[in-house]
Structure 1
Amino acid sequence: MPRWQRPWQGLACIAGGFVMHLTLGTIYTFGNVTSYLTSYLHVRVSEDVDYATTMWIPALMNMGQGLTLAVGGRLYGRFGPRVACLIGCAVLTVSTALSSQTVRSSVALLSLTYGLGGGIGVGLAYVAPMSSAMKFYQLYVTFLFNTITIGFINPLWKAYGQKNIADDHFLAFVGSAAAVFNSLGRVMWGALCDRTSYRTAMLCACTLLCAAFATMQLTPLGGRWMFAVWVWLVFVSFSANFCLIVTAVANTYGTQHAGPIYGVIFSSSVIGSPISVGLANVFLQKLGFPVMFMIQASFVCVRLDMSNIH
C-alpha cells in the first residue's frame, strides 16, 4: 500500500490538527483570564486600565489572525503544512514569552505582543492543520457577524457574572467548562449536519444562540448555575460556525485552493473585532449589559436569516 494511503496517517493528521488547534484556541480562554489580567494591570501599571482597555488585547489578536490567515494558507500551499505550522507556532511562542515581560510595563506593549503578535502566530499556523484534512471555505459576512458576537461575549462574560457572583473559583470553572463545550459543540453540530443538512443544523444553532443572548439578562434570577448554563449555551452555539459553514461553502465552491480562500474569508475579523470594541465602548457604560446582549442577539438574527439562503 502506498505511504499516502495508509489509514493510520489520516487519523494521525486529524489527531495532530486537534491538538494544535487546542493550543491555538487559547484565545477563547481570554474571558477567564481578563479579570486577573485587568486587575494586575490596574494595580501594577496604570489605574486607568479597565475592562474596556484590555478588550484591545483579544481584538488585536483577532485582527492579527485575520491579517495572516491568508499568508498561512500561502505558506501551506507553497511549503507544506510542517513549515506553515512551525513558523506560526514559533511566532506564537515568542510572542507569549515576550508578554511575560511587557505585562509588567505597558498595556500597549502587551497588546502588541500577546494580542497582535499572538494573533499573527495563530493566523500563520491555523490553516495548515485543517487544510491537511479537508480544505474548506467560510462565508465572509456570516463570519463577520460571528466575530462581532464572539468579540463581545468572549472577553466580558466573566465581568458580567461578577456583578452577581462573588465566587471566583466558580467563575473560573465556568470558563474552563465553556472552552470544553466550545470544542464538543463542533462535534455535535457536525454530526447533526451529517444526519440532516447544513441549513437545519445552522438554524438550530443560531436559534439557540439568539435565545441565549436575549435571555442572558435573566440569569441573576436563577442564580449561579443558570448563569453557568447560559454561558455554556452561548459557547456551544457559536461553535457551530466553525464546522457548519465549512460544509456549505465546500459544497458550493469545492475544495481547490481552500486554504488561501479561507484565510481571505477569515479576514473579516479585521473588521469585526474593532466593531466589538467600539460597540462596548459606546453602549456598555451608558446602557449596560442587557442592551449589549440584545444587540448581539440581533447580529445572530442576521446570521439566522443567512442560514435560510445557503
Structure 2
Amino acid sequence: MRSDPAVLFLMKLSPFARTIIVTSGAVLIHLSLGTYHTFGNMLPYMASFMKNFTDSSISEEKLIWIPNFQGCFPFAMVIGGSLNSRTNARVAAFVGCFFMTLGTLLTFWTIQMSFSLFLITYGIMFGLGQGMAYVITMSVAINWARDHIGLISGIVAAGFGISSSVFTPIQTLLINPMNYKPTKSGYFTEKELTSRVPSVFYILAIIYTFMQLLGLLVICDPPDVSSSADDQRSDDNNNDDDIIPPGLAKAADNRSMKTIDVTYGETFIDDDIFLAFAFSACSFLNAVARIGWGFLVDRIGFQVEVVCIRIILLFYLVCLAFATFLATLLLISMPLASFGGKWMYFIWMCSMFICMACTHASFITATIRCFGTKNKSLNYGFLILSTTYITAT
C-alpha cells in the first residue's frame, strides 16, 4: 500500500487536500458511470436506428430489456466488493471501468448487427462494469474522510446523478441537432438522424476512457484503511436488525423509474430539445439533493450515534419514509402531468428526482454505521442487491 506513488503523494498533503483530490477522482469516474440514466434519452434514437437498419421488428418496448439487464448493477456491486477485498482498489476499479467502456465501444458494431449482441454489450457488459466501479470508487472516497461519510458519499453520488445533465445534451446535439420530431408512433425516420446513432457510442467510449483513466490515478486506499475500532463496533452491534423495511427497499429500487419518466414524457411532448433540457435540469437537482441529504445524515446521524444503534436506524428510516412518501404521491399523480403540459411535467420530474436522491446518501452511511468500515463495499452491494430482489418479488 505504502509503495503506491499516489498514496505517497497524497500523504504529503493536508487531510483536506487529500479528501478533495480523491473525491474528485471518484466523482470523475461516477460522471461516466452515471450515463446509465441517459438511456431514456437515447431510447427513441436507438429504437429508430435498429428498426430501420438492423431488425424491423424492434420496438421501444423490446429495448426496455436493455436497462433491465443493466440492472445487473447490484450483482456487480457484490462482485466489485469481493474483488476489492482481494486486490487493491485501483485494479478492482479498473476492471469495472474496462468492462463498461469496452461494452460501450463494442455497441458501435453490435447495434448494427443484432438485438442479442446489443443486449450483451450495452446491457450486461455495461451494467457489470458500472456496478463494480461504482461501489469501489465510493468506498475509496469514504476511506479518506470517515468523519463525513454522508457528505462524501453524497458528493460522489452527485457525480453519478449529474452525469445525465452533462451527457444528455451532448447525445441530443450529436444525433438530433436539427430537433427533428418523431412520428406519431414515436420513431424517427430521417436517415440523416438515424445514421448518426452508432457513432455516438464510439465517441462516448473515448470520453469514458479519458475520464476514467484520469480518475483512476488517485483511486487508492489510505495506509490505515483497516480500523480496529470500526471492526469492534461491527462486532458489538446487533447485526440482525433490518437496515430498511421491505416497503422502503422496494421504493428505493428507482433505477428504471428514470427511464420510464422520460419515455412517458415522449407520449405527449414532441419537443426533443425540451425533453433533453428537462432531464438535464432534473438530474442537476437530483445531484444537489444527494449532497444535501448526505450533509443532513452526517449532522444528525453523529448526534444520535452515541445513544443507540436503533435510534440511528430510526433516523434513516424517517428520512427514507419521508422521501418515499413524497415519491409515491408523485408517481401516483404522474398521469396528471400531461394535463398541465410540458412545464407541469418538468415540475413533477424535478420533485421526483429530489425525493429519489435520499437513498444514495442514506444507504451506504447506514451500512457503515451498523456494520463498520470493514467489507463495506461488499455489504453495500448486498444491500442494493436486496432492493432488486424485493422489487422482483
| TM > 0.5 | yes
Contact 1:57/1:115 (8 A) holds in 2: yes
Are 2:328 and 1:210 equivalent residues in the alignment?
yes
Amino acid at match of 1:172: A
The answer on 1:30 being equivalent to 2:135 is no
3-state SS of 2:71 partner: helix
What is residue 193 of structure 1 aligned with on the other side? Answer: 297
Asked whether the equivalents of residues 111 and 118 of structure 2 are also in contact (C-alpha less than 8 Å), the reply is yes
Correspondent of 1:146 among 240, 252, 256: 252
Partner of 1:263: 381
Indicate how the Cα distance of structure 1 residues 41 and 156 shifts in structure 2: closer, same or farther if over 3 A, else same.
farther
Structure 1 residue 103: deviation in Å? 0.5
Q: CA deviation at 1:36?
A: 1.3
CA gap of 1:15–1:139, structure 2 versus 1, over 3 A, is farther
Equivalent pair of 1:66/1:263 in contact (CA under 8 Å): yes
Deviations 1:269-291, CA, capped at 9 Å, x for gaps: 65467x49xxxxxxxxxxxxxxx
2:59 match:
50
Q: Which runs of 5+ in 1 are unaligned?
A: 277-310
Task: Determine helix, strand or coil for the equivalent of 2:57.
Answer: coil
Which of 87, 97, 106 is the equivalent residue of 2:95? Answer: 87
Structure 2 residue aligned with 1:73: 81
Residues in 2 aligned to 1:265 and 1:221: alpha-carbon distance in whole angstroms: 38
CA contact (8 A) 2:249 2:386 kept: yes
Deviation, structure 1 residue 192? 3.0
Residue in 2 aligned with 1:222?
340
Structure 1 segments (4+ residues) deviating >6 Å: 135-138
Q: Are 1:19 and 2:124 matched, yes or no?
A: no
Displacement of 1:158 after TM fit?
2.3
Pairwise CA distance, 1:48: 2.1
- Structure 2 residue runs without a partner (length 5+): 1-7, 144-148, 150-241, 301-314
* Corresponding residue to 2:71 among 59, 62, 68: 62
Looking at structure 2, the residues matched to 257 and 230 of structure 1 have their Cα atoms a distance apart, in angstroms, of 38
AA aligned opposite 2:57: D
Q: Which amino acid aligns with 1:184?
A: V
- Give the TM-score normalised by structure 1: 0.79
Task: Tell me, yes or no, if the aligned pair for 1:185 and 1:240 is still in contact at 8 Å.
Answer: yes
Partner of 2:118: 110
- Structure 2 residue matching 1:150: 3-state secondary structure: coil
Task: Provide, for residues 242-273 of structure 1, a one-character-per-residue CA deviation record: whole Å limited to 9, x for no partner.
Answer: 11122333222222211112122222365467
User: Distance in 2 between the 1:113 and 1:42 partners?
Assistant: 18
Deviation at 1:159, TM superposition (A): 2.2
Count matched residues: 272
Pair member with larger Rg: 2
Amino acid at match of 1:155: T
**Corresponding position of 1:298:** none
1:46 is aligned with what amino acid?
D
Q: 1:212 to 1:159 in 2, by over 3 A?
A: same
Q: 1:123 aligns with which of 125, 131, 139?
A: 131
Residue 268 of structure 1 aligns to a residue in which SS?
helix
Counterpart residue identity of residue 279, structure 2:
G
Match of 2:361 among 243, 246, 251: 243
Which residue is equivalent to 1:304?
Answer: none
More helix by share: 1
What is the percent sequence identity of the aligned residues?
Answer: 29
AA aligned to 1:81 is A
Q: Quote the offset at 1:121 in angstroms.
A: 0.8
1:279 corresponds in structure 2 to: none
* Alignment check: 8 A CA contact 1:35 1:158 kept: no
Q: CA RMSD in A?
A: 2.6
Distance 1:4 1:33, change over 3 A: same
Q: How far does residue 201 in structure 1 lie from its aligned partner after superposition?
A: 2.7
Give the alignment's TM-score, normalised by structure 2: 0.63
